[in-house]
Amino acid sequence: MSSIDLALSFMSSVAAAPSASPVAVVKVVRAPRKSPATTDKPRMMRAPVVNPVAFLTPAEFLAADRAAKGNVEAERAAIASFVGYLAGEPHGTQIDVARLTAQTAIRRANGEILARREKSAPTIAGYVAGAAGFNRAAEKRMADLKARHRLAVGASLDLAKCATSPALAGCLMALGREDESVAARRLDDSQAAALGEALASLEAARAAELAADIAKL
């Protein structure tokens, strides 16, 4: 049996295979949820002792509370102008709640101010540090360019004076170019002089490029 016949036989057997019996789906119907019986509870109405002309801020309430010096009527007036006074509630509880509310509001406001200051402080410090770091990096690059420029100018002048093979080899060795120094020893004087002039020209061109980079900073 060829591979094609084998594939067709497999596909036919798959098509002829009995399909799986359908699965019965049972739909669960839940009973509607009963809402709990509502009970009408009597609401406690705010009954200010006085009709405040203007509501007090937390700081103003604390100042009025201190000025009351324990006078109940003055405390009631301050509470009524701050959060409202409840006629059926104990006076001591209401003055404590009003004081706590005012103190919490003031602490929260002070905390937000402090958080804003702390958030802005790192930003300013980072800007100053970044500016200082940028200046240090620019100064470091300037110093590096100037040092390389001095070396290139000095190398150009020294190489231009090398008219013999030993002189050129010694000059290259002093510049730290050991491999070139060894090769220069195998040259005759005329070749060494020509090579010295060529190397001096290269160093002069390098010095000019460095001078241009320095001028851009």
Would you list the domain boundaries of the chain?
58-126, 132-216
Band of pLDDT at residue 23, cut at 50, 70 and 90: very low
Residue 174 has pLDDT above 50, yes or no: yes
CB environment 168-205: b (16+ within 10 A), e (fewer): bbbbbeebebeebbeebeebeeeebbebbeebbeebbe
Residue 134 has pLDDT above 80, yes or no: no
Residue 124 has pLDDT above 60, yes or no: no
Distance CA 84, CA 46 (A): 6
**Which H or E run contains 182?**
helix 178-184
pLDDT of residue 114: 67
Residue 201 has pLDDT above 80, yes or no: yes
Any residues with CB less than 8 A from the CB of 64 and at least 6 apart, and which? 56, 74, 77, 78, 81
Mean pLDDT of the chain: 74
- Which has the minimum average pLDDT: 27-41, 110-124, 135-149, 171-185? 27-41
pLDDT of residue 169: 87
> Which among 194, 198, 200, 207 is positioned nearest to 156, based on CA atoms?
200
Distance CA 141, CA 124 (A): 26
Residue 193 three-state SS:
helix
Residue 172 has pLDDT above 60, yes or no: yes
Question: The whole model's pTM is what?
Answer: 0.39
Band of pLDDT at residue 191, cut at 50, 70 and 90: confident
Q: CB neighbours (10 Å) of residue 46?
A: 12
